[in-house]
Structure 1
Amino acid sequence: MNESVEKPALWTRNFVTCAAANFLLFFSFYQLLPVLPLYIFEKFQTDNATAGFIISLYTIGALCCRPFAGFLVDSLSRKPLYFWTFFAFTLCFVGYWALGLLPLLAVVRFMHGVFFGISTTASNTVAIDALPSSRRGEGIGYFGISVNLAFATGPMTGMFLYEGLGSNMVFAISIALCVIGLILVKTLPVKPREKKPHAPLSLDRFFLTKAIPQFLNFIFVGFAYGPVTNYIALYAKELGIGGSGWFYALIAAGLIINRISTGRLIDRGWLTRLVGMGMTLNVLAYLLLTYCGELGAILPGGPALPFFISSFMIGTSLGLIFPGYQTMCVNLARHDQRGTANSTYLSGWDIGIGSGILVGGSMAQHFGMHQQVFLACVVALFVADIMYLCYTSKHYHKNKLEGN
């Protein structure tokens, strides 16, 4: 019998709808990302430090709620929780637009992060619930493309709208897209959660302790990516490279290309090997990024060639790492711990990103340039790679649950 006939369906109505809603949520967020600092300067005439603090409150809010997000997703009906936190996420765009006091804007920014943290945990969990266990790695890979597409197109669209039509149009488009996303979530045919006796509270209801090695490894990966999100344009300027926006487009391209093929290999038993390859490739990518200035002195294309090659390599490596670590966390959890598994996975990323941005900023100020920042990222990723190869992969094979 044909193998494709025997495979359980992947592109179900639930999965496609959830992926589309997830894309709209992330796109609305990403198109605001480059515009919000300009909007704050324009409307409130504030300084760089104040604007930076307000913008960072989003990450702080998301990080603060992650452990509780997993608990809520595993304890409450997932569809209503997803809908109402997505609804509150949408209202925050109205708050940016309407409020005229900077302290109130700071509160809205923090709450935006809280609702983002809960709604994205719910979205990931609802999507995974819709996947057959035998094709989970493939499905997680495809689901992640919804975020990668938003990352690739959102900031560019936001800047285009801002420069051509102003900040009001950016907010209006974000709100409209979120409303479409809410309609999609409302149509999700998710079965009501069965009422069960409340289990006693324990740490495992807020944090998946069996996934501590994966959590720690993912912090290192996020730590290295934090400086890329905030400082790559400044680093490109130091190197005399123009068009740094293409750096992010190439990361997205690498992510999408690898996610399409990685999931099937994960489901065929290549999970730990693919993540190991991704971790090692990530070290090499950041090493190339760190020394692209020196390489540019001996290459005909100058530093731009290794600079942009490193971006594609970073995206390719993350295309192996992202679905791999998420699949590991889910496979280490019971069925009723999937929300906790997803929040644990996402918390590692949030902590890594936040600490990478803070440490990177301090290092850049101390050294006066950004090369040392990315060298620190190489060291962090090398430590994580050794940890993964020597312990994390073995821990996964020893503790994974079958048929969950």
Structure 2
Amino acid sequence: MHTLTSDISSQKLWGKSFIFIMLANALLFMAFEMLLPTLPLFVSSLGGDASQIGLVTGIFMFSAILVRPFTSVLAARMNKKFLLIIGIAICALATGAYYLSSGIGIILVLRVIHGFGFGLATTYFATIATENMPKSRRGEGMGYFGVGETVAISIGPLIGTSLLLQYNYQSLFLGGMCILLLALLMSIFVSRKPQQDFDSESQIAHIASVKLIEKKVLFPSLLILLVGIAAGSIMSFVALFAAERGFNNIAWFFFIVAIASFVVRLFSGTMFDRLGPGSVLLPSAVFAIAGLLVLILAQNQVHFLVAGALYGFGFGAIFPAIQTWCVNLVEEHEHENAMASFFNFFDLGIGGGSLILGMVASAFSYTVVYTVSIAVLVIYILLYSVYSLKQRQYEDRSLGVHIE
């Protein structure tokens, strides 16, 4: 065990390219999160109604999901770093152009373009990041890689609303564009290993085709879909739930979620590398469930913040663990397909889950919303437990045949 630990620790993770790709990815998500609470206000200021605001939000995710299946085909023909820079540039230009919008139709066009850029950038950020970390330390590396996202998700809305309150929409959109241009500049300094030569016709055929779903990562993608549903309940409804209960520290809630996610990733990735997915995926789901349960039962501000900490410990470990698992299940030339499936299932979970849970909230209450979210995570635990049991039985049978 000591030898294994030494071997893993001796392989370099914190190179220049890894640091730049991690920071640039965080800036991408920060600019994205700045618009979440503010763009609906801009649409409303142009005369948009609730249905149009929902369309502006939904069409972005749809275009991001639509472009991701093509990322592997593009990577087979063009340099991934160049494609990443194109994706970030599209996001930057679209963000700055929102201020020039004179009507809802123009905003919808810009949201489609922005979604295409976001879909490209998120996929290539993840795949280039895996190239810049040792395979034996991917769990640890992806955990650190995602820390920036978590922090950005926490402070992005605060930065966006602060810019809008202190200045105006022009400052908001131009500020977001400048953040993305900084991300683009950092990406220029990222180096990646040369394109691998594909030594078989089957590999060439694989990368030449568009895959809506990478079958090798279907099961972990299903798990991240369920996680996305639960995450959607927090992103979409916890502010309304807090207001209903009289809790006025929603910003602190998200800050604590971010801090807890950061802390857990300091060791969860190493656990994944040394002990396998189950060592992270099951305990983290229990923490997330505990957080949602405390949230339902919360009677004061302290309970509310404790719920955020427990949920942060859970989600902070689950997301990079499943992401790393998806990468490990495929060959290097399939990384784009794996990440496309991963992000698309997660986005579908958040988008579809928020839609369904919104109807649940309208028909019942936010308490029922979080009860449903707990049930979804229980299903997640059951599915992974059954999968893990079948995997062990398969390995035992294979070992028995080998011994005979």
Q: Same fold (TM over 0.5)?
A: yes
> What is aligned with 2:222?
216
Do 2:8 and 2:136's aligned partners in 1 also have CA atoms closer than 8 Å? Answer: no
Post-superposition offset of 1:396: 9.6
Whole-angstrom CA distance in 1 between matches of 2:354 and 2:393: 33
Matched, 1:23 2:26: yes
Whole-angstrom CA distance in 1 between matches of 2:8 and 2:227: 38
> What is aligned with 1:57?
59
User: What is the TM-score with the length of structure 2 in the denominator?
Assistant: 0.89
Whole-angstrom CA distance in 2 between matches of 1:393 and 1:167: 54
Matched residue type, 1:119: A
> What is aligned with 1:66?
68
Alignment of 1:302-317 (within 5 A): 302=300, 304-317=301-314
Do 1:70 and 1:341's aligned partners in 2 also have CA atoms closer than 8 Å? Answer: no
| Superimposed CA distance per residue, residues 223-267 of structure 1 (whole angstroms, 9 cap, x where no aligned partner) | 111121111111112212212222211111111111122122222
The worse-fitting range, judged by mean Cα deviation, of 116-125 and 102-111 is 102-111
> What is aligned with 1:324?
321
Post-superposition offset of 1:57: 1.7
Q: For structure 1, which runs of at least 5 residues remain unmatched after alignment?
A: 297-301, 400-404
> What is aligned with 2:342?
345
Whole-angstrom CA distance in 2 between matches of 1:48 and 1:330: 39
Whole-angstrom CA distance in 2 between matches of 1:392 and 1:61: 34
Whole-angstrom CA distance in 2 between matches of 1:397 and 1:73: 38
Post-superposition offset of 1:66: 2.6
Structure 2 counterpart of 1:86, from 77, 85, 88? 88
Alignment of 1:103-118 (within 5 A): 103-118=105-120
Alignment of 1:229-244 (within 5 A): 229-244=235-250
- Paired residue secondary structure (1:200): helix
Kindly tell me: are residues 48 and 6 of structure 1, through their superposed partners in 2, closer, same or farther at Cα, counting changes over 3 Å?
closer
Structure 2 counterpart of 1:357, from 354, 358, 372? 354
Do 1:139 and 1:263's aligned partners in 2 also have CA atoms closer than 8 Å? Answer: yes
> What is aligned with 2:369?
373
- Paired residue secondary structure (1:377): helix
Kindly tell me: are residues 394 and 306 of structure 1, through their superposed partners in 2, closer, same or farther at Cα, counting changes over 3 Å?
farther
Do 1:90 and 1:179's aligned partners in 2 also have CA atoms closer than 8 Å? Answer: yes
Do 1:328 and 1:396's aligned partners in 2 also have CA atoms closer than 8 Å? Answer: no
> What is aligned with 1:101?
103
The worse-fitting range, judged by mean Cα deviation, of 124-133 and 281-290 is 281-290
Matched, 1:284 2:290: yes
Kindly tell me: are residues 378 and 176 of structure 1, through their superposed partners in 2, closer, same or farther at Cα, counting changes over 3 Å?
same
Whole-angstrom CA distance in 1 between matches of 2:232 and 2:261: 17
Do 1:125 and 1:342's aligned partners in 2 also have CA atoms closer than 8 Å? Answer: yes
Matched residue type, 2:264: N
Kindly tell me: are residues 325 and 194 of structure 1, through their superposed partners in 2, closer, same or farther at Cα, counting changes over 3 Å?
closer
Matched, 1:39 2:42: yes
| Superimposed CA distance per residue, residues 24-61 of structure 1 (whole angstroms, 9 cap, x where no aligned partner) | 1111111222111112222x122222212212222222
Do 1:71 and 1:205's aligned partners in 2 also have CA atoms closer than 8 Å? Answer: no
Post-superposition offset of 1:8: 1.5
Whole-angstrom CA distance in 1 between matches of 2:8 and 2:289: 40
Matched residue type, 1:329: C
| Superimposed CA distance per residue, residues 274-328 of structure 1 (whole angstroms, 9 cap, x where no aligned partner) | 1111122222222222233xxx2xxxxx3x3322211111110012211211111
Do 1:205 and 1:337's aligned partners in 2 also have CA atoms closer than 8 Å? Answer: no
Post-superposition offset of 1:200: 2.3
Do 1:217 and 1:384's aligned partners in 2 also have CA atoms closer than 8 Å? Answer: yes
Do 1:70 and 1:342's aligned partners in 2 also have CA atoms closer than 8 Å? Answer: no
- Paired residue secondary structure (2:145): helix
Matched residue type, 1:224: A
Q: For structure 2, which runs of at least 5 residues remain unmatched after alignment?
A: 396-404
Aligned-residue sequence identity (percent) comes to 27
Post-superposition offset of 1:99: 2.0
Whole-angstrom CA distance in 1 between matches of 2:211 and 2:59: 26
Kindly tell me: are residues 388 and 25 of structure 1, through their superposed partners in 2, closer, same or farther at Cα, counting changes over 3 Å?
same
Kindly tell me: are residues 127 and 160 of structure 1, through their superposed partners in 2, closer, same or farther at Cα, counting changes over 3 Å?
same
Whole-angstrom CA distance in 1 between matches of 2:171 and 2:15: 34
Post-superposition offset of 1:390: 1.6
Kindly tell me: are residues 397 and 122 of structure 1, through their superposed partners in 2, closer, same or farther at Cα, counting changes over 3 Å?
farther
- Paired residue secondary structure (1:17): helix
> What is aligned with 1:388?
384
Structure 2 counterpart of 1:123, from 122, 125, 134? 125
